[in-house]
Structure 1
Amino acid sequence: MTTTVAAYAAPSAKAPLERTTIERRAVGEFDVLIDIKFAGICHSDIHQAREGWGEAIFPMVPGHEIAGVVEQVGPGVTKFKVGDRVGVGCMVDSCRECENCLAGQEQHCVRGNVGTYNAVGRDGEPTYGGYSQKVVVDQAFTVKIPDGLSLDVAAPLLCAGITTYAPLKRWGAAPGKKVAVIGLGGLGHMAVKIAHALGAEVTVLSQSLRKKDDGLKLGADHYYATSDAQTFKDLAGTFDVVLSTVSAPLDFGAYLSLLRTGGALVNVGAPEEPIALNLFSLIGGDKILAGSMIGGIAETQEMLDFCAEHGLGAEIELIEASQVNEAYERVLNSDVRYRFVIDAATI
């Protein structure tokens, strides 16, 4: 039988979110029913609820940073049992047959992964996200949250954690490497923590020095204001990796100038506007301009285990569900340190 649960949804593009009810599918053979405890608010929730990235599906229940407890399992479930602490990130299905899925890169499924919300599942029904009381997810797209992480600070790791962990690992953040993180927000603060734990020398590049003390406490070795033109002169040719976490267009030529020969500028922030780029800023120094999109399920589990081992939870502000519209505006104004998390008990 389906389950009716309370949720917060955007009824149309740019409309305020409001409390409503949705139907969750019956628990299938390989499904788990999760009693959601906490749901993080990601900037991408706002992009999608306001159609900043293109046409969307409404009503929309956002939320792809989900932490909760297993309430029921299907008869074929082997990975989880009732009472397990689990998480769900940005996707809830894929074809599971293409070369990318078989390589553990389900986020790059050739047929397209199924997003946790604002997507259509293999059953033809729209998906609804974590701003809700419960969710039903296939065990293959559910991960274990280690005991070393409390569920509230673990929730943002299901997007912000894997979104920064995957490129930092791929591009070699490690002892002896210099990593710069552009922006100290929901993504950026986790990037700093993770890069530091990986052993890299970490620099934050932010518009101002307003959050400098925070950045240093989170693990940064250095902190510079990008509003100061001298920063780009002083740091020219310094970094092995520059990770951009911001959702605004940048002067890519200026940031590419900060890389060493062969260095990489990797983007995980996704501005709504196109960017301009003079290719000579890439050609000189054999530099790399790259992107990265979350990570596969196995890598997400690896990230959670790594964060638990190093005590890396997100820095959060816990809110009631009724505050979600205010939280959206505060995110847009960079007025959060550093991730809003909804207490699902208030939905």
Structure 2
Amino acid sequence: MLTANAYAAPSSTGDLIPTTIERRDVGPHDVLIEIKYAGICHSDIHTVRGDWGPQQYPLAPGHEIAGVVTEIGSDVTRHKIGDRVGVGCMVNSCRDCENCRKGEEQYCLNGMTGTYGAVDRDGTITRGGYSSHVVVTEDFVVRIPDGLELDVAAPLLCAGITTYSPLRHWGAGPGKKVAVVGLGGLGHMAVKLASAMGADVTVLSQSLKKQEDGLRLGADDYYATSDPATFETLAGAFDLIINTVSAPIDISSYLQLLTLDGALVNVGAPAEPLPVNVFSLILGRRSFAGSAIGGIRETQEMLDFCAEHQLGAEVEVIPAEKINDAYERVLASDVRYRFVIDASTLG
């Protein structure tokens, strides 16, 4: 077993603390990755604090991992030592169900294995990217193109693919009007990606304090949702709305902003239910949908797209000792737009 330095939460209420964790030996199809950077996702905070259900502690989070291959198993064909690679929100799936065979492993009918806090196929509990090393089966490791620096690439493994997948699925592109609700870790990538796809992009945020950023990132318009006039002005304006907010919003009001056959897709994941007035759907043949991450094939496609268009996340790189401060700042929306841990500071 390999011992790795890490940060882990001892409970749902305690700060994350330095520790060591064990990684399995490199098997025939495994890749050992020296982690260089790990993004901090709002999902990490929800999970650590038990918002989405009870967890097993200590819990080492992190599913936005960028690093370098340092060892490969005897049967590995996809990666070689020295490759720049990434690991996102999942590290395994059944591989056999209909969805897995389609390349949609994130929707594995038998349950995909999350990068941390999940029970892997061998019965062990997975531990995430707030660590110095990770061992992952080669099928769930993606290549990071040379055009992307590892620090700005790390958040693409969650924030990037979580927004890229619905934008592609619902046809964002030239001639389509896309609104992005919230300009945070997910939202800023949704703006960059939708703009690069050729869509007309509008940011819908509580206030105008990030307006300059939104326009710089590629938005064509920016509106404050705290102003009731916004919902009158933009009624029926959008083909697609991507809601990135991990807190309750009035979904029915946002549905009114869709054109005929428009779709509002939730990628933010608040712990609370989101009630919907069904007439907001019926009277415009509108859809209210959800989307998770993409599969491995689509994640690679997203990384290649980002490299082609020179799109990386906007990051603030921090040492590991600042993780707990970063959590508080994420909750206060005091980050532009993703914290990334420098794994060399783990000790």
1:177 and 2:176 aligned = yes
RMSD between superposed Cα atoms in Å:
0.4
TM-score, L = length of structure 1: 0.99
Give the match for residue 108 of structure 1.
107
Give the match for residue 40 of structure 2.
41
2:334 counterpart SS class? coil
Please give the alpha-carbon distance, in whole angstroms, between the structure 1 residues aligned to 2:30 and 2:66. 16
Give the match for residue 312 of structure 1.
311
Give the match for residue 119 of structure 1.
118
Give, as a single letter, the amino acid of the residue that structure 2 aligns with 1:252: I
| 1:43-65: CA deviation from partner (whole Å, max 9, x where unpaired) | 00000000001111211000000
Give, as a single letter, the amino acid of the residue that structure 2 aligns with 1:100: N
Please give the alpha-carbon distance, in whole angstroms, between the structure 2 residues aligned to 1:84 and 1:231. 48
Q: CA deviation at 1:14?
A: 2.1
Give the match for residue 280 of structure 2.
281
Please give the alpha-carbon distance, in whole angstroms, between the structure 2 residues aligned to 1:84 and 1:60. 28
Please give the alpha-carbon distance, in whole angstroms, between the structure 1 residues aligned to 2:220 and 2:117. 39
TM-score, L = length of structure 2: 0.99
Please give the alpha-carbon distance, in whole angstroms, between the structure 1 residues aligned to 2:289 and 2:274. 13
Please give the alpha-carbon distance, in whole angstroms, between the structure 2 residues aligned to 1:56 and 1:108. 21
| 1:123-174: CA deviation from partner (whole Å, max 9, x where unpaired) | 1110000000000000000000000000000000000000000000011100
Preserved CA contact (<8 Å) 1:179 1:242: yes
Q: Percent identity?
A: 68
1:223 and 2:222 aligned = yes
Give the match for residue 251 of structure 2.
252
Please give the alpha-carbon distance, in whole angstroms, between the structure 2 residues aligned to 1:277 and 1:32. 45
Give the match for residue 140 of structure 2.
141
Preserved CA contact (<8 Å) 1:4 1:24: yes
Give the match for residue 242 of structure 2.
243
1:295 and 2:282 aligned = no
Unaligned runs of 5+ in 2: none
Q: CA deviation at 1:275?
A: 1.5
1:322 and 2:321 aligned = yes
Q: CA deviation at 1:276?
A: 1.4
| 1:77-107: CA deviation from partner (whole Å, max 9, x where unpaired) | 0000000000000000000000000000001
Please give the alpha-carbon distance, in whole angstroms, between the structure 2 residues aligned to 1:6 and 1:253. 46
Give, as a single letter, the amino acid of the residue that structure 1 aligns with 2:342: D
Give the match for residue 94 of structure 1.
93
Deviates more, 1:322-331 or 1:270-279: 270-279
Please give the alpha-carbon distance, in whole angstroms, between the structure 2 residues aligned to 1:229 and 1:323. 38
Number of residues of Structure 1 aligned to a counterpart in Structure 2: 346
Preserved CA contact (<8 Å) 1:57 1:119: no
